[in-house]
């Protein structure tokens, strides 16, 4: 579950209720990698999430985004 507090956000894994997807986009002319996390209904860990492979989505669909600006990141 994704829990939001005043000064931090906590991701508590283990019940299959956090989905995540990855992708990339162009920001300021540079390609960056993105991993987005979202809440979903609990399911077996490892089962498909609510967002299907290849499904187009917006970064606004994810309350938490991790961005990677270097290939080694």
50 within some domain: no
User: Is residue 39 included in any domain, yes or no?
Assistant: yes
Looking at the predicted structure, is the pLDDT value of residue 73 above 80? no
Instruction: Tell me which residue range forms the domain holding 35.
Output: 2-45+56-68
Question: Domain total for the chain?
Answer: 1
Question: Exposed, middle or buried by CB within 10 Å (0-12, 13-18, 19+), for 56?
Answer: exposed
> Is residue 51 situated within a structural domain?
no
Reference 30, options 66, 60, 71; nearest CA is: 71
- Assess if residue 73 is contained within a domain: no
pLDDT in tens, 7-61: 999 998 888 899 888 888 888 899 999 999 999 988 888 888 888 888 888 888 8
| Spatial distance between the Cα atoms of 46 and 30, rounded to a whole number of angstroms | 32
Burial degree of 36 (CB within 10 A; 0-12, 13-18, 19+): buried
């Amino acid at each position: 579950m994704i829990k939001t507090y005043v000064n931090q956000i906590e991701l508590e894994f283990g019940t299959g209720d956090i989905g995540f997807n990855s992708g990339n986009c162009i920001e300021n002319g540079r390609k960056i990698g993105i991993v987005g996390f979202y809440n979903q209904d609990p399911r077996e860990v490892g089962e498909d999430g609510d967002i299907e492979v290849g499904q187009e989505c917006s970064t606004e669909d994810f309350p938490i985004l991790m961005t990677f600006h270097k290939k080694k990141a």
